[in-house]
Structure 1
């Protein structure tokens, strides 16, 4: 029975990757990561039947797990190839970090809601994802001890990137991707850092929960 269940999960993951790829063509490694990550583990029991739909879903602490399509886009815009470490601001359910763990050697994720940190750690242990490090802290402070990071990803919207976060981004073509709040819109924005110069690229509109200060 256990093998059968795992086989069904695998088929659902693969179909999800195919559904995303039809809308947003995926790089091979990213498509593979999505096809190997069981999203149902990251959603509440009452929503498991919707886990492989292209929809955002509510999770604990009045937060949301992003649409798998959005997760795929954010991951691909990050350009993981050739990068070693990534910092995620806003771990949430842990689904985005689980995808990143298959593309980066070291994943660091900061979450301000203690309950979400505990739940994410349990999921990572269940999936044997040993290269993800999760910290209960104010995400806007980053995680300076292990910086600089080759990549930084915001999993919640923000108006302006704090200078302390840019300081933790590698100055050797480091890439940061974030949903930037601009007037009444949110725009996925990519920042590329070379030395002291930062190039900004606006990619597409999106919808995320806002980044908040402090911990709860």
Structure 2
């Protein structure tokens, strides 16, 4: 077993000791080497439970946060998921082990290209990435069983909400009036999003409604 794999196992066990992971999510996280998704200068910190900078004022989320967001999706029995904010691609890579089809939208084209290359390196074939404003969603492949925001939002567009399947779950870090962020889960019933529950405070990069073509 390589040093990196031992570090990965310790990281996942550390997360599991703080936040009980389901067997499927634990297995998914053990299949994705986090060092591939962080800058080479940060490889020595890849398996710490920290968010790390990836350039362009963006961050790869803490693996602890990724694990929680993944659990909140309740992926059992689901086929497709749409992620808003691909970033490094780490969250999408985890989702690729749980969903047959993963669609991810990234508003910074340089990050999209880098994430796509990482997926090729890891032979992840079931993730599709689009360069766009995430609030537009990806109508061609809708409806989605699940939608996950990997950046904090002040609102969820009607256009995006319309692309969630009836009975589907949407998980998003939402900005409150005092600038505090909390993770909210919504369920779609009778064609409308209804708040399911609030999972506590969080800290994410803010979502922006424009694209950046670097």
Is the TM value for this pair above 0.5?
A: yes
The residue aligned with 1:124 is 119
The residue aligned with 1:177 is 171
Give, in whole Å, the separation in 1 of the partners of 2:5 and 2:110.
Answer: 28
Give, in whole Å, the separation in 2 of the partners of 1:199 and 1:212.
Answer: 24
Provide the secondary structure at the position in 1 that maps to 2:200.
strand
Give, in whole Å, the separation in 2 of the partners of 1:11 and 1:165.
Answer: 40
Give, in whole Å, the separation in 2 of the partners of 1:40 and 1:196.
Answer: 40
Kindly state the Cα deviation for residue 195 of structure 1 after the two structures are TM-superposed. Answer: 2.5
Deviations 1:38-91 (A, max 9, x none): 000000011110000000000021100000000000000011111100000000
Q: TM (normalized to structure 1)?
A: 0.95
Structure 1 residues without counterparts, runs of 5 or longer: none
Give, in whole Å, the separation in 2 of the partners of 1:35 and 1:106.
Answer: 19
Kindly state the Cα deviation for residue 9 of structure 1 after the two structures are TM-superposed. Answer: 2.2
The residue aligned with 2:155 is 160
CA contact (8 A) 1:110 1:139 kept: yes
Kindly state the Cα deviation for residue 170 of structure 1 after the two structures are TM-superposed. Answer: 0.2
Give, in whole Å, the separation in 2 of the partners of 1:162 and 1:63.
Answer: 22
The residue aligned with 1:87 is 82
Kindly state the Cα deviation for residue 36 of structure 1 after the two structures are TM-superposed. Answer: 1.3
1:151 matches 2:146: yes
The residue aligned with 2:103 is 108
Give, in whole Å, the separation in 1 of the partners of 2:128 and 2:33.
Answer: 19
Deviates more, 1:95-104 or 1:188-197: 188-197
The residue aligned with 1:209 is 205
Give, in whole Å, the separation in 2 of the partners of 1:111 and 1:155.
Answer: 10
Give, in whole Å, the separation in 2 of the partners of 1:69 and 1:150.
Answer: 23
1:18 matches 2:13: yes
Provide the secondary structure at the position in 1 that maps to 2:165.
coil
Tell me which of 44, 47, 72 is aligned to 1:49: 44
Task: Let me know the Cα RMSD of the aligned residues.
Answer: 0.9
Deviations 1:180-211 (A, max 9, x none): 00022100000011232432121110000000
CA contact (8 A) 1:10 1:36 kept: no
The residue aligned with 2:59 is 64
Provide the secondary structure at the position in 1 that maps to 2:211.
coil
Give, in whole Å, the separation in 2 of the partners of 1:59 and 1:213.
Answer: 20
Aligned length: 210
Give, in whole Å, the separation in 1 of the partners of 2:184 and 2:86.
Answer: 19
Provide the secondary structure at the position in 1 that maps to 2:78.
coil
